[in-house]
Amino acid sequence: MDPSLLPNPYTSLAFLPPDTATKLEAVRYLFVAVLGAWMWDYFMALREEYRMAKAGVKLSDICYFAARYASGVCLFSGVIFICGPISNCAMMGRVVAGLMAASLPLNSLLFFFRVRAVFYDHPYIVYAFFALWLSTLGTISAPFAVTAANIGPTKVCIDTEVKGYSSAGIVIIGVHDTLVYLAISVKITLNSVGRNASPMEAVRAFFSGKGLGRTSKTLLTSGQMYYLATVGLNIVTMAALLTPTLSPVYQGMFPSPNLALQNAMAARVYRRLKLGLLVDQPSISTGSKSNVISLNAVRRQADDSRNVQHSTISVLPLEETESDSMKKRGYDMRSDMMV
């Protein structure tokens, strides 16, 4: 049949094998859904971000907003790449990969601020984690590992090759996030149950939060929820990028939801610490060194004016302050270093 007799002979999917066309359509739906979910998270957080900005912007806040907007631009660009008319798909593919390479380390930088706050009194540990964060800049290899092309004579793009070394940065980020999660969780657990606790008690507290105070348990479980979810999707993304038998269309599918999830969760953790939205309670005197977390919390006043106040959050075990272990140790997390 003469193609000119067809109503739309040059539709992009007509130039692809049926299975590849089906995969491309699935990836399009996923990219649009991921962008929609990220936008929902962004708009839901606007009120808290406004409060953050009104309280005063620090270097860590600049990094926070840079991570948010870089991730948003990357997700938007990915949707344009996969759905919109692009004359030079090869160049656009490198642009999207470059935005991804910039966004992922910025998200991990928010994790570094958290571990810096916990280990502020151990500078060598902070330096080690900063060096580890610098290694996440290995994502710069991404733009050179992705090849895209136009589908036939159309202006629709498709990934034609995704090299295995594109996963290098994601592997390092996965290691970084895992070590941050473990370091913070171990620190909170040991300072809550006591260094003289039995190994089984420490393990039970680490995984279940049993025996921890309200705030310690909140910090522990929130870290588990955010970081483990992020690392889990990192593993899926790494597996896809390192599987040469997988279609390039599917290989290029996972970095986008991985970026969106990491950014949403890292930003949520940062905002909660910045605004003091963790479970807080009055500081309780124990007659010895106070076991508190200092936060610069933003409070709403009765007359709807907002002021920055210094508040304290107690990190106490379920037992009251009479606990002998509490009297023997003090724990101070300098969240003001992070926020």
Q: Which CATH number covers residue 253? A: 1.20.1070
Same domain for 257 and 308? no
Who's near 280: CB < 8 A, 6+ residues apart? 215, 295, 297, 311, 312, 313
- Among the candidates 247, 274, 301, a domain finishes at 274
pLDDT tens string 24-47:
999 999 999 999 999 999 999 999
Overall number of domains in the chain: 2
Cβ neighbours of residue 8 closer than 8 Å, sequence gap 6 or more: none
Tokens at residue 30, please? 């996923």
Position 283 in a domain: no
H helices of 276-335, in order, are 324-328
Distance in angstroms (rounded) separating the CA atoms of residues 38 and 21: 26
Residues 249, 197 share a domain: yes
Is there a single domain that holds both residue 163 and residue 304? no
Residues 149 and 35 in one domain: yes
Q: Which of 274, 301, 316 is the last residue of a domain?
A: 274
Write the pLDDT tens digit of every residue in 163-205: 888 888 888 888 888 888 888 888 877 777 766 767 777 777 7
**265 touches 304 (CB < 8 A):** no
Assess whether 261 and 117 both reside in one domain: yes
In a domain, 6, yes or no: no
Q: Is 4 within a domain?
A: no
The answer to whether residue 201 is domain-embedded is yes
Can you give the residue range of the structural domain that contains 240? Answer: 11-274
Assess whether 243 and 309 both reside in one domain: no
Q: In this structure, are 298 and 269 located in the same domain?
A: no
Q: Are residues 316 and 190 in the same domain?
A: no
According to DSSP, the residues that pair with 313 across neighbouring strands are: 293
**Amino acid, res. 337:** M
Q: What is the pTM of this model?
A: 0.76
What's the confidence (pLDDT) of residue 259? Answer: 93
Q: What percent of the chain has pLDDT over 90?
A: 24
Reduced to 3 states (helix: H, G, I; strand: E, B; else coil), residue 266 is: helix
Rg from Cα positions in the chain:
24
Assess whether 221 and 182 both reside in one domain: yes
Amino acid at 52: M
**Residue 240 belongs to some domain of the structure:** yes
User: Given a cut of 60, is residue 13 above it in pLDDT?
Assistant: yes
**Which amino acid makes up residue 3?**
P
**Per-residue pLDDT at 216:** 63
Kindly write down the DSSP assignment for every residue of 270-282, as one continuous string: HHHHHHT-S----
| Residue 3: inside a domain | no
Cβ contact 298:323 at 8 Å: no
Are 169 and 120 within one domain?
Answer: yes
The reply to whether 220 and 254 lie within a common domain is: yes
Structural domain ending residue among the three candidates 274, 305, 322? 274
In a domain, residue 80? The reply is: yes
Q: Is residue 286 part of a domain?
A: no
Considering the domain architecture, whether residues 18 and 133 belong to the same structural domain is answered as yes
